[in-house]
Structure 1
């Protein structure tokens, strides 16, 4: 399956159950990049608009570049109340945006799908002279017993979860993407609470999880319910995340 098609059948769960970004991201970027309401933002691999919304709420014009038709149309429907939201059918390597048109390039939980060399060239092309790039991820933690059990479940049932793990990107891999001496790192704490229905939706929002009809789907759901019953508190379980930001220039 092409990377751009992996989430086509998972849009509804993605919208409902994927984590958003902490509100503290915006004031941090005001300090780190000079972000203002006038900053023109390109959100690359924008998906259903989760990463675009904080900037729209801040009053920014956002070009949301997303190659997946189903996700892009969902973003258009969810964010049509914002006059400055523009959905664009494009990729990180070929955004279709004009030369030198963007002040801030953002990729939220998407950069690991990109061709880094071609993406860097495209970001340089669309970025204005002083443009900044922000790469951010909500990184699910696996320290507590429930979180470790969930991670074990993904290894057991995920169709290509181990391959996805290899896509994890950190400061050592990104140092060559950014201009030397420009990369800044920042970490925020983030969390989600789930009842069982929501936990199921969160699981099924992941592209490496077998969907209904797959032979592993029903055994996986039974294992998920067992995990939930073991660790629930007041009918809920909790995911902890570190929201990691990498800010720099290309």
Structure 2
């Protein structure tokens, strides 16, 4: 997959991404500001910020944030959604070439987009933009695959109908890979529960926000949505299903 592919593959999914992608648990910020000792006024570079879900997490706890996002549609969505935050700005840049000034940020944040990056190149770039002693926070929501019959069925649906689901799923780093990436600089890691409670419309939007879900016009689109409706009908309780995750986070220096 080329860099251009990974940048543009969400362009047609922005509306669903804004509305239906999960947030991150408040406990993540409590861990960052508490035992990890990060100041609330630390300047954050949110890399691969997308529509701003991760940026808002920092803005809501007092951080100034510069969001770096190469996808114009997603960046525009973030600028519109977060316009009320005076400490927010968004710039056109890539993880490996942010365009930010040398030693200009205290904390690099990379959330769900991290698995698309060239992890060797970003170390060099992030070392450049971080102030001495600055930290990198890498975190994402990992969907639980077998925590419930619904989640088992959802995983099978992706395998049956997804365009390149297996290739994308395998890109997520495991704990050992992340520990090796940080090396001696790893300061801490944590795993936290997270959940979305979704009705049928929200579940459909959550599915269609994924880059591997076939879109209208694809021969698997309509059968996929029919299978999703059947899955929802089989497992919904009081009109909702529980979409469960574990939020995994790693924090450290890049020396």
Bin for the TM-score computed over the shorter chain: over 0.9
| The structure with more helix, counted as a fraction of residues | 2
Q: Measure, in 2, the Cα distance between the counterparts of 1:183 and 1:115.
A: 22
Gaps (5+ residues) in structure 1? none
Aligned to 1:133: 136
Aligned to 1:245: 249
Normalized against structure 2, the TM-score is what? 0.95
Please show how residues 53-132 of structure 1 align to structure 2 within 5 Å: 53-132=56-135
Report the CA distance between 1:146 and its aligned residue: 0.3
Report the CA distance between 1:32 and its aligned residue: 4.3
1:157 aligns with 2:189: no
Q: Measure, in 1, the Cα distance between the counterparts of 2:187 and 2:234.
A: 42
Please show how residues 196-235 of structure 1 align to structure 2 within 5 Å: 196-235=200-239
Q: Measure, in 2, the Cα distance between the counterparts of 1:181 and 1:113.
A: 22
Runs of 4+ with deviation above 4 angstroms: none
Please show how residues 9-48 of structure 1 align to structure 2 within 5 Å: 9-48=12-51
Q: Measure, in 1, the Cα distance between the counterparts of 2:183 and 2:46.
A: 20
Q: How many residues align?
A: 250
Q: Measure, in 2, the Cα distance between the counterparts of 1:32 and 1:110.
A: 25
Structure 1 residues 45 and 32: alpha-carbon distance in aligned structure 2, compared to 1, 3 A threshold? farther
Q: Measure, in 2, the Cα distance between the counterparts of 1:247 and 1:21.
A: 16
Q: Which moved more, 1:80-89 or 1:178-187?
A: 178-187
Root mean square deviation of aligned Cα: 1.1
Please show how residues 178-189 of structure 1 align to structure 2 within 5 Å: 178-189=182-193
